[in-house]
Structure 1
Amino acid sequence: MGEPARKLEPANKPPQEETVSPWKEAWRKFRKNKIALVGTSIVFFFILVALFAPLIAPQGINEQDLPNRLQPPSADFWFGTDDFGRDIFSRVVYGARLSLTVGFLAVVGSAIVGSMLGIIAGYYGKWVDTIISRLFDIMLAFPSILLAIAVVSILGPSLRNALIAIAIINIPNFGRLIRSRVLSVKEEEYIMAAKAIGMSDRRILFSHVLPNSMTPIIVQGSLAVATAILEAAALGFLGLGAQIPEPEWGAMLAASRALLVQAPWTLFFPGLAIMLAVLGFNLMGDGLRDALDPKMKT
């Protein structure tokens, strides 16, 4: 018996294109951005330092060694000691835990509240949009640090109240960003179809509008953490944030400003930690924006 006839395939059959999910494509672009990877490495370094602070710090944060006060950096004291003989390296390490906690929690709080207000304003429009948008305009009319100082002055100086103030002043940034995104998303055909089949507004918002508005939230959130760390340090420096003897970087700068000439290392290392942390989040945020923003695609 002869072999069965084989089905002939067209010689010029076009190759099938492999479908790649948007998140995989964004990750591929992010990995190619060397500067973003440097920023991400800095961020993960500080996260690891904050998580393993008890294992890294050689001394307690308030352990005083008066005979060794104001010692310069050495093999025994890597970052030197302050005017109470406390090890600056240990305090900077524990300060990473405080600063990152304030940064992350403040951004999460402002992102949740701001996103919800922005979604409601953009989706319902009319007088709801007018009221919420004017509220955002009023808050943005004040310089952020002055508004944070006003909030902390009302609530009282403390690290917890500084966190609340930072979360409040960042709400309009998320709200306006998400509102503009929702204004375009709600005109899409799938939103029209969801309304046509009688889907409730709450289900449309949480099942369709919010998931399709996550990209700007992620990008803005990574950049906002850097701003929150800087604002927490500013409030701590002014005495309105973390209070002595908490090892918060801004408070450490404030406590050591009189030692600028006598012991400059007491200011240099906390200031260097603030600079590196803010730089890391900014570089990572720029990389996320380039990878996730459709307008950046070529």
Structure 2
Amino acid sequence: MTRAQRKLILPATLAALVVAVIVLAPVLPLPDVRSMDVPNRFAGPSATHWLGQDEFGRDVLARLIWGGRASLFIAVGSALAAAVIGTVLGLLGGYFRGLVEFVTVRAAEVILCLPPLLLALLVVTILGAGTWPLILALTILYTPIYARVVYSATLQVRSLDYVTAQKAMGAYPLRILATTVLPNVMPPLLVQISLVVASAMLIESGLSFLGLGVVPPTPSWGLMIQAARGSMEVAPMLLLWPSLALAGTILTFNFLCDRLQTALDPRGITAGGALWLRGGGSRGAVPRSARRAAAPKQDTLLEVEGMSIAAQNAGTSLELVRRVSVTVRRGETVALVGESGSGKSITGLALTGLLPDALSITGGDVRFVARDGEEIDLGALDEAGFRRIRSGEISMVFQDAAASLNPVLRIGEQVAEALRAHGGARGRDVDARVVELLRQVGLPDPERRARAYPHELSGGQRQRAMIAVAVANNPRLLIADEPTTALDPTIQAQILELFRSLKKATPDMGLIFITHDLAVVAEIADRVTVMYAGEVVEDGPADEVFAHPHHPYTAALLASVPEGGTDRLVAIPGTVPLPDAMPEGCRFAPRCSHARDVCRTGSPPTSHPTPERRTRCVRWKEIA
């Protein structure tokens, strides 16, 4: 039992005792709450009446217990009803946005403009006093509060990578909301439930005190407080008991929900927590419209020719990547290199069909050779087509493993999810395959790590787990988007060694390694593709590019890092231009010390110094 679970014992026991006493009131040996003994009214505690008798001689303890049934039923019933309705509204509005958000969340917020007590009074006045009208009034009152809390939490979760991964695997939106988004918004929801129960009990007591709540002779704490108010001078203890019961119950439930939040939040526990099972999906074939007869170049796995990516907004188009060409052969590691904003990550996302909705491929040819030897036009695939080849044919390792791994799922469950979603092992074979994968990526004690949550692993271990998810189905092409950026040098070296070992274990797998770290490129890459401002400016074998760069940007990158071999480090002046402010001619010209007038007047053509090398510089011979 974890520390968080041990802390849950006391409040859970107290809450259970309160609920048990109230629920078991009909079978407890209590006097009739309606039986009056007027001659003995205001009598003090005795062996027969432990808490004394009220203004009509009725047993105070019996009325206190029976009164708790009405007060607790109204408070908890309205809180749960409002929680269900408000959670649904918040999830739908936060996930789908747009018109759905207006109809759900914004419409519900109108109720927040009304004073709470006056709104409850209005509903009770229209429908009449009683238990069910009071529950309806409180449900209407608290639903917008839940909707706003869940809406805010959903906005934070919906853009994270593990939600994107669910979309990429083809999960239906309602399933994503129920199994991925909802568990991550549960902690603030539990806190809100405790606050609403407390507030509802107070409002119920207040309305009953005013005669607009529970109808006599049914007892409630509010009615007991109302009756005791008129006899405070004669029997002040009659006011104390319902007040203590009300305050104690509210504090108990607040205490319970506070500890329950910690116990159910995977970031605060080491075992237990919210376990959400995943169903498997079937793996289908890629649509024939995206397939062509196999005629690829020998050993070519991926060939990108002249691919352009643009952002579409209100009828205008802004080009972010222009005429990019990349080739990956079987068993080859190609490094995409460049500063932030050069278009590396967008290129990788385009190859896996994970571009944001506002971006799309607007030109070029993207051909991928599938496992069966047929050629797939990735540019012609829709989301369903990409879904069928992700993980099994093409997979991706993201930069931030903490955002990519679902915090409410154990590591083993997330690896198993990738296996099931793409027709991998079933039943007990899944657990064995998960442990095997975690061992393959170098996680110590893989059996234990499979039961751990992401927050229990270090940064390097999380990245290894992310890699295990990516290679679970033995992809033909693996794209790694800066997987070592947030790690310290020692862990970086370990992750690079892991990629090398994966390449040895699967010699036919191609690897695109996206990075801005030239030291990493020198260790792992066979070929280098240098990008600047959305264009490929140089491409060639890694050792040749490092030894003799043919583009001033590549030379400047090498001169700006300690591993470049230069006697003195040189900073590259200026910054990468914004997509809507690209210069005429060569895009690197404003920052280039070799630029001439010809560089600023027209886009430089692609030159081929050797059959294996390309460069977009008219002065490449002088640079070399």
**Common fold: TM-score over 0.5:** yes
Indicate whether 1:105 and 2:80 are aligned.
Answer: no
Q: Is the 8 A contact 2:105 2:151 kept in 1?
A: no
Deviation at 1:215, TM superposition (A): 2.7
Deviation at 1:248, TM superposition (A): 0.7
| Unpaired stretches in structure 2, ≥5 consecutive residues | 270-454, 456-624
Deviation at 1:295, TM superposition (A): 8.4
My pick for the range that moved more, 40-49 or 188-197, is 188-197
Larger radius of gyration: 2
Indicate whether 1:151 and 2:123 are aligned.
Answer: yes
Indicate whether 1:218 and 2:193 are aligned.
Answer: no
Deviation at 1:109, TM superposition (A): 0.4
Deviation at 1:179, TM superposition (A): 0.7
1:142–1:257 Cα change, 3 Å: same
Q: CA RMSD, aligned part only?
A: 2.4
Which residue number corresponds to residue 214 of structure 2?
242
My pick for the range that moved more, 233-242 or 37-46, is 37-46
1:130–1:296 Cα change, 3 Å: farther
- Identify the match of residue 89 of structure 1 among 49, 61, 78: 61
- Please, what TM-score do these two structures have when normalized by structure 1? 0.81
C-alpha separation in 2, matches of 1:271 and 1:84:
19
| Unpaired stretches in structure 1, ≥5 consecutive residues | 1-23
Deviation at 1:192, TM superposition (A): 2.0
C-alpha separation in 2, matches of 1:152 and 1:209:
36
1:199–1:39 Cα change, 3 Å: closer
C-alpha separation in 1, matches of 2:90 and 2:68:
32
Deviation at 1:197, TM superposition (A): 4.0
Deviation at 1:204, TM superposition (A): 2.4
Q: Is the 8 A contact 1:79 1:88 kept in 2?
A: yes
C-alpha separation in 1, matches of 2:191 and 2:166:
28
Indicate whether 1:162 and 2:162 are aligned.
Answer: no
Deviation at 1:93, TM superposition (A): 1.1
C-alpha separation in 1, matches of 2:48 and 2:6:
39
- For this pair of structures, how many residues does the alignment match? 270
Indicate whether 1:273 and 2:245 are aligned.
Answer: yes
Q: Deviations over 1:217-263 (max 9, x none)?
A: 23322332222222211111111110111111101211232111112
Which residue number corresponds to residue 286 of structure 1?
258
Q: Is the 8 A contact 1:59 1:87 kept in 2?
A: yes
Deviation at 1:38, TM superposition (A): 4.9
Letter in 2 for 1:104: V
Deviation at 1:76, TM superposition (A): 2.4
Indicate whether 1:185 and 2:157 are aligned.
Answer: yes
C-alpha separation in 2, matches of 1:186 and 1:40:
32
Which residue number corresponds to residue 17 of structure 1?
none
Which residue number corresponds to residue 111 of structure 2?
139
C-alpha separation in 2, matches of 1:279 and 1:179:
27
Letter in 2 for 1:127: L
Higher relative contact order (CA 8 A, sep 6+): 1
Q: Deviations over 1:41-95 (max 9, x none)?
A: 4322211111221343520110112222221222221111122211111110111
C-alpha separation in 1, matches of 2:267 and 2:101:
26
C-alpha separation in 2, matches of 1:157 and 1:88:
24
More helix by share: 1
Deviation at 1:290, TM superposition (A): 4.7
C-alpha separation in 2, matches of 1:169 and 1:46:
26
Indicate whether 1:171 and 2:146 are aligned.
Answer: no
Indicate whether 1:70 and 2:52 are aligned.
Answer: no
C-alpha separation in 2, matches of 1:198 and 1:279:
44
- Identify the match of residue 173 of structure 2 among 186, 201, 213: 201
Deviation at 1:114, TM superposition (A): 0.2
Q: Is the 8 A contact 2:89 2:105 kept in 1?
A: no
1:204–1:287 Cα change, 3 Å: closer
1:175–1:89 Cα change, 3 Å: same
Q: Is the 8 A contact 1:42 1:276 kept in 2?
A: no
Q: Is the 8 A contact 1:111 1:221 kept in 2?
A: yes
Deviation at 1:266, TM superposition (A): 2.3
Indicate whether 1:54 and 2:26 are aligned.
Answer: yes
Deviation at 1:116, TM superposition (A): 0.4
- Identify the match of residue 4 of structure 2 among 10, 19, 29: 29
Q: Deviations over 1:160-207 (max 9, x none)?
A: 111111122111221111111111221122322333344332232223
Q: Is the 8 A contact 1:74 1:80 kept in 2?
A: yes
Q: Is the 8 A contact 2:88 2:147 kept in 1?
A: yes
My pick for the range that moved more, 64-73 or 233-242, is 64-73
Q: Is the 8 A contact 1:107 1:225 kept in 2?
A: yes
C-alpha separation in 2, matches of 1:265 and 1:142:
37
Deviation at 1:146, TM superposition (A): 2.3
Letter in 2 for 1:29: A
Q: Is the 8 A contact 1:38 1:283 kept in 2?
A: no
Question: 1:210 aligns to what SS in structure 2?
Answer: helix
Deviation at 1:150, TM superposition (A): 1.8
C-alpha separation in 2, matches of 1:240 and 1:152:
7
C-alpha separation in 1, matches of 2:175 and 2:152:
20
C-alpha separation in 1, matches of 2:267 and 2:172:
32
Deviation at 1:119, TM superposition (A): 0.5
Q: Is the 8 A contact 1:99 1:248 kept in 2?
A: yes
C-alpha separation in 2, matches of 1:230 and 1:41:
23
